[in-house]
């Protein structure tokens, strides 16, 4: 059998947060191609509608639900709208993050404004709690399914200048394991993807110079990541093919965490951001 066909998501309903672009949009397209019906949930209304339209024009099923994942009432509406529309929920993919805030305003703790810390924790960590609080009861009702969380290699290996982001994403790793244990009895698998540097225009990750790009490449053993690299792995984690996999933290990172980069490279990769007012790598 074609391995891609074995990873079918036929009949499943998925919420993908932060799917107005980047990894989330690529995942919405990939999940729908494998048969899932998708709730595209995002703050960005134009991008979110575009994603849903793209899925539908490819022959899939999706709708856009304007959502702020850091607000309880908004998350509750997101889950309710999905269940009303598609009759249940099987897959919750927590992908949304405050990537612009991270690139522009995150700092070492001594220089980090308190509002940035609070906002980062709310969008990148509290959101996982809220989406699971309202989403997991519906997955239980459906007889089981999965949660996919999103961390980063920056939560595995010290990266200077991103203290709010790394703290929030470290919390995502910890809660992935505790939720995996708690909800195994309900046939709900909980896993986490930690991407390396993924080229995502939407996240303003555009490199500011060829040198910056070269340094980022030197932190990987392969080319830089593409949203589709993460989307394909997420689709595998969502599929019955991964029924033996839970509580896992997966570095999908082109080898970023496989070796120790020299201090010079690390500082070259992160120091210029200060000079550029953190406009992106």
Q: Which residues are catalytic?
A: 165
List the Cα angle 3/180/154 in 5-degree steps: 80
Q: 242, exposed or middle or buried, with CB in 10 Å at 0-12, 13-18, 19+?
A: middle
Binding residues for ligand NAD, total number by CB under 6 A: 30
Among positions 12, 192, 198, 237, the unique one binding ligand NAD when judged by CB under 6 A: 198
Residues 6 or more apart in contact with residue 229 via CB below 8 angstroms: 195, 198, 252
274/47 Cα distance (integer angstroms): 29
Query: What is the DSSP-derived secondary structure letter of residue 225?
Result: B
Q: Given candidates 9, 14, 21, 60, which one binds ligand NAD under the rule CB under 6 A?
A: 21
Options 19-27, 81-89, 184-192, 255-263: segment touching ligand NAD (CB under 6 A): 19-27
Q: In this chain, which of 79, 91, 92, 96 binds ligand NAD, going by CB under 6 A?
A: 96
136, two tokens: 């997991």
Q: What is the DSSP letter of 21?
A: S
- SS3 for 198? strand
Cβ closer to ligand NAD: 2 or 38?
38
Residue nearest to ligand NAD (CB): 22
Q: Which of 24, 60, 161, 254 binds ligand NAD (CB under 6 A)?
A: 24
Among 9, 28, 91, 123, binds ligand NAD (CB under 6 A): 123
Q: Is residue 176 a contact point for ligand NAD (CB under 6 A)? A: no
State yes or no: residue 51 binds ligand NAD (CB under 6 A).
no
**Using rule CB under 6 A, residue 166 touches ligand NAD:** no
254 contacts ligand NAD (rule: CB under 6 A): no
248 token code pair: 């896992």
Q: Which stretch binds ligand NAD (CB under 6 A): 6-14, 140-148, 199-207, 239-247?
A: 199-207
Cα 142-148-153 angle, rounded to 5 deg? 175
Task: Pick one of 9, 29, 38, 43: the residue that binds ligand NAD (CB under 6 A).
Answer: 43
The beta strand positions in the chain, using DSSP E, are: 13-17, 37-42, 61-66, 91-93, 145-150, 188-195, 249-252
Q: Pick one of 52, 92, 98, 238: the residue that binds ligand NAD (CB under 6 A).
A: 98
- The alpha-carbon radius of gyration of the chain (Å, integer) is 18
Asked if 152 interacts with ligand NAD (CB under 6 A), we say yes
Provide the binding-site residues for ligand NAD, judged by CB under 6 A.
17-18, 20-24, 42-44, 47, 67-70, 95-99, 123, 150, 152, 195, 197-198, 200, 202-203, 205
């Amino acid at each position: 059998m074609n391995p891609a066909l074995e990873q079918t998501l036929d009949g499943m309903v998925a919420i993908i947060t932060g799917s107005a672009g980047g990894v989330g949009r690529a995942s919405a397209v990939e999940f729908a191609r494998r048969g899932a019906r998708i709730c595209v949930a995002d703050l960005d209304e134009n991008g979110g509608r575009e994603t849903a339209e793209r899925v539908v024009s490819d022959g899939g099923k999706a709708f856009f639900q304007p959502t702020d994942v850091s607000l309880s009432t908004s998350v509750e509406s997101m889950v309710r709208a999905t269940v009303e529309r598609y009759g249940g929920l099987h897959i919750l993919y927590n992908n949304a993050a405050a990537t612009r805030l991270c690139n522009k305003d995150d700092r070492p703790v001594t220089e980090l404004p308190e509002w940035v810390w609070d906002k980062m924790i709310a969008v990148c960590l509290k959101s996982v709690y809220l989406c699971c609080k309202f989403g997991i009861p519906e997955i239980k009702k459906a007889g089981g399914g999965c949660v996919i969380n999103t961390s980063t290699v920056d939560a595995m290996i010290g990266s200077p200048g991103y203290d709010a982001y790394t703290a929030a994403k470290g919390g995502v790793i910890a809660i992935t394991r505790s939720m995996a244990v708690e909800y195994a009895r309900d046939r709900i698998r909980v896993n986490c993807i930690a991407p390396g540097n993924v080229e995502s225009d939407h996240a303003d990750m555009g490199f500011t110079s060829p040198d910056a790009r070269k340094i980022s490449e030197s932190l990987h053993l392969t080319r830089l990541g593409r949203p589709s690299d993460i989307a394909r792995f997420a689709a595998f984690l969502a599929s019955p093919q991964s029924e033996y996999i839970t509580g896992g933290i997966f570095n999908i990172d082109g080898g970023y965490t496989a070796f120790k980069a020299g201090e010079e490279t690390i500082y070259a990769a992160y120091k210029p951001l200060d000079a550029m007012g953190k406009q992106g790598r």
